[in-house]
Amino acid sequence: MASSQLINDYRQWLAFQRQEQLSREHQGVAQRLEDARATSGQVIQAYRSMADKAATEGACYRTLFLRESSEDAALVCEGWLFIRRVLSEEGSTRVRATLLETFTLEDGTIVPGDKPARKVTLEIYEKLDINKGMRTDVRVDCLETPADYHFITLMDAARGDLRAHMS
């Protein structure tokens, strides 16, 4: 086997390993949110706090989200969100943010600046799950790209050095 093919296979294997790790992490955090019975009010307050930190300190927050692929499979992607503002009106809450993707299975690890950031509008809502006894779960989905959904943004994973890549 040629060494270049071996290196390509190794990089592909690393991407699959990272994909599996992110899938487990997304699933675990989603389960913890469900077990904690997080409400939309709590999630909205968390995003407001992130928007305040973004405005004062330029903080970006690590986010994991699902992306539906053409094969009807949902794969976890990773990125950093710069929360610009949180808008609440008439029972609807939307988050205006800029998303800088840092991992997709197709691209592997993406170095900040290699792929342009994109502006997104996320909607926070409660989803009724009849399979769990009519319980509601909080969801955060992207409005512009319906294939991107179930965003989980981690407040304890922030960095302030990405603002230059968010324009």
The whole model's pTM is what? 0.91
* DSSP letters for 99-137: EEEEEETTTEE--TTSS--EEEEEEEEEEEEGGGTSEEE
Q: Rounded mean pLDDT of 85-103?
A: 94
pLDDT above 80 for 1: no
pLDDT above 90 for 128: no
DSSP helix/strand/coil, 27: helix
**Residue 129 contacts residue 137 (beta carbons within 8 Å):** yes
Cβ-based neighbours of 60, under 8 Å, separated by 6 or more: 54, 80, 81, 82, 100, 158, 159, 160, 162, 163, 166
- pLDDT confidence of residue 132: 66
